[in-house]
Structure 1
Amino acid sequence: MDERGVTSPEPATPSRGGVGLLLTKVAGVLVLLVLAGLIAIWGVQRYIADRLTPDPTTIARASLDGLREQNRLSAFAARYVAVVTSRQSQLGFSTERTLIMPGMVRYEVDLGKLRQQDVRWDAGNRTLSVTLPPVEIDGPQVDLAAIREYGSGGVLTTFTDAEQRLDAANRTAGQVELMRQARAPSPMKLARDATRRAVERSFAMPLRAAGVDATVKVHFSDESPNDEHWDTTRTVQEVLGNAG
């Protein structure tokens, strides 16, 4: 009450209920800000990860393109020696000729036949599976300077062309024998293993350089898949198509 007897109103003070409501609103706003900050941080991290983390399918596709440019891959070669003998009898006379023919054979794979569906990435097992065309044999490249021919001579070689015919037959048979040796299981396995290692390195080295921990398995289309589930993975083309 002042000097004139008038009572002045006292200043209003916030009730406990009002203070609690205000604090609740402030806390809610803070929670929303924290959540928004966390979402923003997660988005930035995801963006950086997507930009910086190498994509195995992209690396594999680049490696595939590089192999195709090589056209043919020859990772194994072998030298064989054919020894063949031909005989001829005529008018009671006989003669024979023996040929020793060395030759080189190269084992090749036509990389131009590789397709995108031949390269499959299994993200669960982190395995890149590559199916190659069958190994082809190039040759034989006969070492003409090293050919040796031996004969028993006789009347037929003197008065007929038996020697020339026997030599021609021996050379044809020698080339057939060289190819027979080249197609034997042991050298074919060596050729596949050498080619397999070369192709595995071609795919594994770029993946390793990019920091991708992956296993590369190479298989030939004409050999057993060894009970591997080749149909459970996606091709590089399918992955890239989904990404698009």
Structure 2
Amino acid sequence: MRRSFILVLVLAAGLILGALLTSAFRLSSLFGGGPDPETIATASLQSVREQARLTPFVARYVAVVTSTQSRFGLNAQKTMILPGTVRYEVDLAKLRRDDLEWDAAANRLNVTLPPVEVAGPEIDLAQVQEYSGGGVLMSLTNAEAALDAANRQRGTQSLLAQARAPVPMRLARNAARTAVERSFAMPLRAAGIEATVVARFADEAANADPSQLDRSRRIEDVLEESKAKK
């Protein structure tokens, strides 16, 4: 038997704007009165790539798993509750010049992002809880060690399955889009260019209307929606 549920979702503030703030003003002074948006975007790309891995979203989950063993007519059962934290990351070093497209007619910079990667889970060992039954079999054999190993494996799989569910993946992608869009928009604004920046993932239609792209919602709304579906 296996049960799992989301304990809490926490939106991380892992934005990559710090280093770009300095470079934005440098770009503004460098290009003077008539900066070229494509040149600014290319210069910004190098600053973004130097940030390496962006962590726009962090989530904490709990897996509840139970394993059983039967030997010599005896049964042993152990339930383990494993809380774990998962980071959602984007490898910005993978961004290339070809991932940037300046649409002069729409005054828009399109950015194609690398995929979101799930890192972890990091198990909170201090918060792990165990409940067992069948002490006779566990005291006579290695059943307890086998049950622990099985529960850890199944618990890790459960945490990853929760992390890759549609809702948290959508939240992570939205957060990554927002962070990257701000990172490219700030140098453009500092140079006096009011342009729209739209970040997309490769599996999203390149010709999609930016206004129709899925954007971040409040975490409270997402949790309320999940409750309503139960």
TM-score by length of 2: 0.75
Structure 2 residue matching 1:53: 3-state secondary structure: coil
Deviation of 1:228 (Å): 5.5
Instruction: State the partner residue of 1:103.
Output: 84
- Residue 101 to residue 204, structure 1, CA distance change in 2 (3 Å): same
**Counterpart selection for 2:181 from 200, 204, 226:** 200
How many residues align? The count is 180
Contact kept, 8 Å, 2:74 with 2:134, in 1: the verdict is no
What does residue 240 of structure 1 align with? none
Unaligned runs of 5+ in 1: 1-49, 230-244
Q: Does 1:115 align with 2:104?
A: no
Q: Secondary structure at the match of 2:121?
A: strand
Instruction: Tell me which amino acid in the other structure corresponds to 2:152.
Output: R
Q: 1:227 and 1:195 mapped to 2: Cα distance?
A: 18
Answer with 1 or 2: which has the greater Rg.
Answer: 1
Contact 1:85 1:98 in 2 (8 A): yes
User: For 1:83, what is the secondary structure of its paired residue?
Assistant: strand
Residue 131 of structure 1 pairs with residue 112 of structure 2 = yes
Which residue identity lines up with residue 222 of structure 1 in the other structure? D
1:29-178 counterparts in 2 under 5 A? 52-178=33-159
Q: Is there any run of 5+ residues in structure 2 with no aligned partner, and where?
A: 1-30, 211-230
Q: Give the superposed CA RMSD.
A: 1.6
Deviation at 1:51, TM superposition (A): 6.2
Task: Report the identity percentage.
Answer: 60
**Residue aligned with 2:208, SS:** coil
The SS at the match of 1:70 is: coil
* Aligned partner of residue 88 in structure 2, secondary structure: strand
The structure that is strand-richer by fraction is 2
Counterpart pick for 1:227 among 194, 204, 208: 208
SS at match of 2:66: strand
Residue 226 of structure 1: CA displacement? 6.0
> Post-superposition shift, 1:52?
2.1
Structure with greater contact order relative to length (CA < 8 Å, sep ≥ 6): 2
Q: Is the 8 A contact 2:110 2:199 kept in 1?
A: yes
Q: Residue 133 of structure 1 contacts residue 222 of structure 1 at CA under 8 Å; is this kept in 2?
A: no
In structure 2, the CA distance between the partners of 1:143 and 1:123, relative to structure 1 (3 Å rule), is same
Q: After TM superposition, where is structure 1 displaced by more than 2 Å over at least 4 residues in a row?
A: 222-229
The corresponding residue for 1:30 is: none
Q: What amino acid is aligned across from residue 141 of structure 1 in structure 2?
A: E
Letter in 2 for 1:158: S
Q: TM-score with structure 1 length normalisation?
A: 0.71
Distance 2:79 2:205 in 1: 41
CA drift of 1:142 comes to 0.8
